[in-house]
Structure 1
Amino acid sequence: MTHRTEPLLSVRELRVSFPGKGRRAPRTEVLKGVDLDIRPGETLGLVGESGSGKTTIGRAVLGLVPVASGTITFDGHRIDTAKRAERRALSRDIQVIFQDPYTSLNPSRTIGDTLSEPLRAQGTTTTEARARIAALLDQVRLPADATDRLPREFSGGQRQRVAIARALALSPRLVVCDEPVSALDLTTQATVLDLLLDIQEETGVAYLFVSHDLSVVRRMSHRVAVIHHGELVETGDADTVTRTPDHPYTRTLLLSAPVADVTEQKRRRTERTRLAENSPAISTPSST
Structure 2
Amino acid sequence: MTLLDVRDLKVAFPGRGWRAKPVEILHGVSLQVGRGECLGLVGESGSGKTTIGRAVLGLVQPSGGEIDFDGQRIDHLPVRARRALSKDIQVVFQDPYTSLNPSMTIGDILAEPLVVEGATGKDARARVRVLLDQVGLPSNAIERLPREFSGGQRQRVAIARALAPKPKLIVCDEPVSALDLSTQERVLDLFIEIQRATGVAYLFVSHDLSVVRHISHRVAVLYRGDLVETGPAAKVTKDPDHAYTKKLLLAAPVADPIAQRARREERHRLAEVATA
Query: Scaled by the length of structure 1, what TM-score is found?
Result: 0.94
State how far apart, in whole Å, the 1-side matches of 2:268 and 2:223 are. Answer: 17
State how far apart, in whole Å, the 2-side matches of 1:86 and 1:141 are. Answer: 33
State how far apart, in whole Å, the 1-side matches of 2:94 and 2:270 are. Answer: 31
The correspondence for 2:215, drawn from 220, 236, 242, is 220
The correspondence for 2:183, drawn from 188, 199, 217, is 188
The correspondence for 1:141, drawn from 127, 136, 139, is 136
Runs of 4+ with deviation above 4 angstroms: none
State how far apart, in whole Å, the 2-side matches of 1:280 and 1:114 are. Answer: 51
Say whether 1:241 aligns with 2:227: no
Could you tell me which residue of structure 2 aligns to residue 13 of structure 1?
8
Q: Deviations over 1:131-163 (max 9, x none)?
A: 110100000011111111110000000000000
- Note the 1:38-49 alignment, pairs <5 A: 38-49=33-44
Could you tell me which residue of structure 2 aligns to residue 284 of structure 1?
none
Could you tell me which residue of structure 2 aligns to residue 210 of structure 1?
205
Could you tell me which residue of structure 2 aligns to residue 81 of structure 1?
76
Partner of 1:224, secondary structure, is strand
Q: Which amino acid aligns with 2:23?
A: T
Q: Which amino acid aligns with 2:55?
A: A
Aligned length: 276
Say whether 1:259 aligns with 2:254: yes
State how far apart, in whole Å, the 1-side matches of 2:216 and 2:99 are. Answer: 24
Say whether 1:90 aligns with 2:74: no
Could you tell me which residue of structure 2 aligns to residue 121 of structure 1?
116
Cα displacement (A) at 1:280: 3.9
State how far apart, in whole Å, the 2-side matches of 1:133 and 1:50 are. Answer: 35
Could you tell me which residue of structure 1 aligns to residue 192 of structure 2?
197
Q: Which amino acid aligns with 1:9?
A: L
Cα displacement (A) at 1:278: 1.8
The change in CA–CA distance for 1:280 and 1:15 in structure 2 (over 3 A counts) is: farther
Partner of 1:64, secondary structure, is coil
State how far apart, in whole Å, the 2-side matches of 1:47 and 1:142 are. Answer: 29
The alignment yields a C-alpha RMSD, in angstroms, of 1.0
State how far apart, in whole Å, the 2-side matches of 1:23 and 1:270 are. Answer: 45
Larger deviation, residues 244-253 vs 264-273: 264-273
Could you tell me which residue of structure 1 aligns to residue 51 of structure 2?
56
Cα displacement (A) at 1:260: 1.7
Structure 1 unaligned spans of 5+? 1-5, 282-288
State how far apart, in whole Å, the 2-side matches of 1:274 and 1:120 are. Answer: 57
Partner of 1:279, secondary structure, is helix
State how far apart, in whole Å, the 1-side matches of 2:76 and 2:21 are. Answer: 24
The change in CA–CA distance for 1:280 and 1:123 in structure 2 (over 3 A counts) is: farther
Could you tell me which residue of structure 1 aligns to residue 168 of structure 2?
173
Q: Which amino acid aligns with 1:52?
A: S
Q: Which amino acid aligns with 1:127?
A: K
Larger deviation, residues 138-147 vs 227-236: 138-147
Could you tell me which residue of structure 2 aligns to residue 278 of structure 1?
273
Larger deviation, residues 131-140 vs 255-264: 255-264
Partner of 1:14, secondary structure, is strand
Identity, in percent, stands at 68
Cα displacement (A) at 1:277: 2.1
Cα displacement (A) at 1:276: 1.7
Q: Deviations over 1:246-276 (max 9, x none)?
A: 0000000000010122222121111111212
The change in CA–CA distance for 1:228 and 1:258 in structure 2 (over 3 A counts) is: same
Cα displacement (A) at 1:93: 0.5
Q: Deviations over 1:10-37 (max 9, x none)?
A: 0000000111122222211111100000
Structure 2 unaligned spans of 5+? none
Q: Deviations over 1:211-261 (max 9, x none)?
A: 000001001000000000000000000000000000000000000010122
